[in-house]
Structure formats: structure tokens, C-alpha cells
Chain A
Amino acid sequence: MVIPHPAAADPDAAIWAALAEVPDPEIPTISVVDLGVIGSVELAEDRSTLRVELMPTFIGCPATEVMRQAIGERLAALGVAERVEVELTFAEPWTSDRITAAGREQLRSSGFAPPPHLRELTTLGELPTLTTVPCPYCGSRQTTLENPFGPTLCRAIYHCAGCRQPFEAFKPI
């Protein structure tokens, strides 16, 4: 009796499970799936090629290439296709609303405030005015934006009046 490899039985589920194991290189508590940077995933019917689209958070993010390689290596190890291609795409811009609910919780638990939602945004000009960010440590909403530019392109620096600590937040974009 031949027991099929689990990846062969349901390749899509196996691919997404494998992707969920690839961490963001700059904030390793969140995976590339929860960060929302995975666009389309296409497995050719003859399984010759697995093509994954990667949506960079910021165009100049130096972690993008590290992510691309890590995704390629993890999917190659899965063995569902002969060839794995990971391509960057800007066809649809990544926005911070693509971070999943689980991802937002993972950010918070590791001391990064998740970004404010963009839902109420009517023009792009309002982006930097979304400053209501609860403190990831004590939950206080008495926080102030100290610098919209932080230690990486995607992070801003805040200060909490509640627990008197500085903290970082993922920038709404």
C-alpha cells in the first residue's frame, strides 16, 4: 500500500501551511501570510511550476529579498512542483489593512502596535493623520506620535503617557 505524501493530497493547503512557517525577517513573530504579503499562489496542473506573488510592504524594504529567498527555499523543500518562482508584484499595492487579525495580535504581543485601520480613509493625504494607536504594553489610548519615521521603513515611534514608555507601531500605509 502506498501512503500518499500529505502535500500531494491537498497541495494548496500544504503550500499555505508552509508559507505560514516563513517569518518576516524584521519582525519574526509574524509570518508572511499574516503580514498579508502573499498575493496569488498558482500551481500548474502538471505541477511543473509553483508561482507565488510577493507584495512588498514598502518598495525600498531591504527585507523583501530575504523574504523572497526564504519563501522560495521553503516551498522548494515542500516538493509539490518541479520549479518554484517567487515574483514581486506591485499590480495591487500592499496596504497595512492586509495584515490579518491574527497578525495584528502577534504584532501587539511582541510590543509593536498594529497599524490603525485605513477603512475611514477618503484621500491618501489623510494617511499620516491616522494617529490613534493604543499602547501595546498597557492598552492606554493616551499615546502621541513622536516620529512617523522609525528604525525600519514600516515602523513609527510613539510615546505612551499611561506607562511612560516609548513604543513602535506598524505604520498605516
Chain B
Amino acid sequence: MTDVEPATRDAVAELLLTLADDEFVLGFWDSEWTGIAPMLEEDVATSSIAQDEIGHARAWFGLLAELTDDDPDRIAFGRPPEAYRHAALMNHPRTDWAFTVARRFLYETADAVRLEALAGSSHAGIAGLAAKMRREETYHLLHWNAWMRRLAEGGPDTRTRLNDALARLWPDAESVFSPLAGEANLLAGGILPESMANLRARWVGRIDAELASLGLVRPTDEVGPPADGRTARTDDFRWLWGEFTSVARSEPGATW
């Protein structure tokens, strides 16, 4: 990608950073369930999914590092909290199991829509990774959809918790599809085959269909993706940042 014009290069870098940070931050939040998930089998599953996500982040960071002549570890651990570009959906802490299930359901459905589009990207590196990730994410989506059903049909307590979590998360879930600064550039070159607005509409359709099958209703009217959906940061995220960078910050530049 050394022969592309700077505007396109910056747009690709922005896209890669959003893809990587979504997976990276969510992977860390979910890794907190290791050892304390509701049951042993779920402990294994959540940990495995979290590991997949960190692996996906590593791959996106690697592609970004090639583009910007940087170091993937530097990008992952060497930025201040304000420089992360994950969706606001990932600003929330782990909270309870229903909250994790609801966030996972909203995100996996969004990620599936996004990866399907990116598998057709004109950027060979992005298309290849997206195609491979789709196969792995298929398992995640099925897993969280199954949990949605368990909680939706589990009685008043689990159903209420699930509904509350969906209501609290919905506005920030929209931020997965917040417009990118360089989106026009990405669309023109087919690097992003469809606009975020189009992808969002498809995502909402799938969410509605899945919720309807569970007798649930999407919690709010359409508020749309907020403009600061990928830049607003919370104290909860700053706390997580302190955790996941603590080892890297203890010996800057060290080889492990």
C-alpha cells in the first residue's frame, strides 16, 4: 500500500484501527469472565471467544502496522486512552452476565454484517482476513444467540435483566456504525464496499428479526449512530486501559 495516496492511506488506517480496537477492547472485557463465568463449560467458551477476538485484533493491528510502518504492540499498548477508536458499546464494564450476553449479541450481529461486506473489499489484505474471520465468528454468533434464547425464556428475572441491558446498550451499540472520517474515500475505491449507513440498516433488520423470534422488542426508537461514537471515552474504559497496558508500561520497549 505504499503507492496509494495519503488520503486513502489515512482512511484505511482509520478503518483498520476501528476494526482492531473493537475486537481488542471487547476481548479484554470478556476475558474478565475467565474463572468466574456462570458455569465451567461457559468459562471455557467465553475465554475461547475472548482469545479469538484478541487474535483478530492482533491481525488487524498487524495489517495497520504494515501500512503505517509501525509496531503492532506499540499500537495495541502504547496509546493513551483517548487515542483508542473502539465503538462506545465497548466503553461499558463487564457488569452482569445478561449485560455481557446482550452486548455480545448486539456486537456479533454487527460484526457479521461488517465482515460480510469487508470480505468483498478491493483491499486484498482486508478481504482475506475478513473471509477467515467470518468462519470463526459464525461460532460466536450462534453461541450468543443461544444465550439470548436461554435468558429470554429463563423466567422473569433473566428476561428483565436482558431487557434492561438491551435498553442501556442500544444507543452505544449504534456507534459500531458511526461514520468514519475517511468513509467517502474508502467507498470510492471499494475498500469499504458499502456505506456504514447501509450496513447499519441491515444490522437493525437482523436485530429486529432475532428479537422478534424471542418475543422481545428493540428498546428505543432509532436514534442513529452518534458522531462521537468512536471517540467518547469513559472512566470504565480508562480503568480497563490501565489494566491491559500495565505490563507493557512496566518495562517500556522490553522484549518479552
Contact = CB atoms under 8 A, between A and B. Distances in A.
Contacts of B129: 59, 90
Given A90-B128, A149-B44, A124 B51 contact: no
A138 to B, nearest CB: 23
Contacts of A90: 59, 125, 128-129, 131-132
A41 B88 CA distance: 44
Among A89, A95, A153, the one with the most B-chain Cβ atoms within 10 Å of its Cβ is A153
Nearest to A96: B135
Contacts of B136: 58-59, 153, 173
Given A59-B56, A60-B55, A149 B48 contact: yes
Nearest to A94: B132
B138 interface: yes
Nearest to B133: A59
A130 to B, nearest CB: 11
Contacts of B55: 58-61, 153
A125 B139 contact: no
A25 interface: no
B58 interface: yes
A151 B47 CA distance: 10
Contact of B124 (A91, A151, A157): A91
Contact of B135 (A92, A149, A151, A173): A173
Contacts of B53: 60
B45 interface: yes
Interface residues of A, number: 25
Interface in A75-132: 89-95, 124-125, 127-128
B152 interface: no
Contact of B44 (A60, A95, A147): A147
A121 B81 CA distance: 43
A157 B41 CA distance: 9
Contact of B139 (A95, A146, A148): A148
B149 interface: no
B216 interface: no
A149 B45 contact: yes
> At the interface, is chain A mostly helix, strand, loop or mixed?
loop
Given A146-B41, A149-B44, A60 B139 contact: no
Interface string A51-73: 00000001111000000000000
A153 B142 contact: no
A171 B124 CA distance: 26
Contacts of B56: 59-60
A60 B131 contact: no
Contacts of B45: 147-149
Report, nearest first, the 9 A-B pairs whose CB atoms are least far apart. A60-B55, A149-B48, A90-B128, A149-B45, A93-B132, A147-B41, A128-B142, A59-B55, A127-B138
Given A59-B56, A93-B128, 15 more contacts: A59-B136, A60-B53, A90-B125, A91-B124, A93-B132, A148-B139, A149-B44, A149-B45, A149-B47, A150-B48, A153-B48, A153-B136, A171-B139, A173-B135, A173-B136
Interface of B: 41, 44-45, 47-49, 51-56, 58-59, 124-125, 128-129, 131-136, 138-139, 142-143
24 contacts: A58-B55, A58-B136, A59-B52, A59-B55, A59-B132, A59-B136, A60-B53, A90-B129, A90-B131, A93-B135, A95-B135, A125-B138, A125-B142, A128-B142, A147-B41, A148-B45, A148-B143, A149-B139, A149-B143, A150-B48, A153-B51, A153-B52, A153-B55, A173-B136
